Amino acid sequence: MKAMIIRQTGTPDVFELAELPVPEPRAGQVRIRVMASAVNPIDCKIRSGAVPLVPAYPAVLQGDMAGVVDALGPGVTDFAVGDAVFGFIGGLKSHQGALAEYALADVRLLALKPGALDFAAAAALPVVGMTAWEGLIERACIEPGQTVLVQGGAGGVGHVAVQLAHAAGCRVVATVSGKDKGKLARQLGADEIVYYRDETVADYVARLTGGRGFDVVFDSVGGASLDASLQAAAVGGKVVAIAARSTHDLSPMHGKGLDLAVVFSLSPFVHGSGFERIGQRLRKLASLVEAGKLRVVLDPHVFTLQAVGAAHALIESGGAHGKVVVRVAG
């Protein structure tokens, strides 16, 4: 089978085309004919060596994928040959990824693909969807009527967080950088837009909450945005952070008695436990998609398997407008 591999970490041009044996599924696994695989920032960091989670060389990266079940391992009863599935299957640690014509997947990491999404959109959903779901639904436990601020509301995780908060009956406020992103966030369910370059935290807290602050703040940006999130939260509020590898003054958190939840949806691969939660979250997300309450925004660029390096370069340039997908088949 054809696969794009890396033999060392580095810039996007380290990818090379290779012929690898078609893998045979073991107990608890299925083999998938991969149709599409999405690129996430974590994939770029693994490829570059910034995050030391590269699988064994020759390494097949990227875990987000959608495809068709091609073969079953011993004991597998949850899926059948021919099922269209999506999930996050690896591309880190001991799990090889999806940049190949065929890939193996632990059945706990998969769900049936929603019929409302094509393979490209389904491949783009797992990481961003699971991250937003864990942060808002499981950790912040959002409730109808709460006011939720989503920092980076038109980004990969942020645009899903806006939709989840809207579907939960919350009043949703999204911070964005410009008018086009503000328009997108409104289309996805944001009730109010904050152009963070034009307005201070104190100003938008006063304008949108009467100075009280937000019940829940979901920060998909990190850095200074996490500091702003602590400032924007109401007394006794909750802050969810998905990019917290940084140093912060927690005085505002202490002073207001805030709850801080840090989410890393791929931690099961790092720590070797909790894989079943991935499939559970994917099934919940699929239900929202089928109900018409969740969609994925894709970047218009089309990348083939052999052009995965260009897809990584686009992510790293900051020029992507929506999720970047590599179409492996077709």
Q: Which two tokens stand for residue 136?
A: 């808002």
Matching residue, tokens 């393979």: 119
Residue 86 to residue 98: CA distance in whole angstroms: 11
Residue 15 to residue 247: CA distance in whole angstroms: 33
The residue extents of the domains of the chain are 2-125+273-327, 129-262
Fold assignment, 129-262: Rossmann fold (3.40.50)
For the chain, helix, strand, coil in percent to 5 are 35, 25, 40
pLDDT per residue as tens digits for the range 205-245: 999 999 999 999 999 999 999 999 999 999 999 999 999 98
CA-CA distances (angstroms) from residue 36 to 89, 310, 325? 13, 15, 7
At 82 the pLDDT is: 98
Look up the CATH number of domain 2-125+273-327.
3.90.180.10
Helices 41-48 and 308-317, axial angle in degrees (round to 10): 110
Q: Which two tokens stand for residue 314?
A: 């686009």
Q: Is the pLDDT of residue 330 over 70?
A: no
pLDDT per residue as tens digits for the range 11-36: 999 999 999 999 999 999 999 999 99
CB neighbourhood size of 270 (10 A): 11
Q: End-to-end alpha-carbon separation of the chain, Å? A: 15
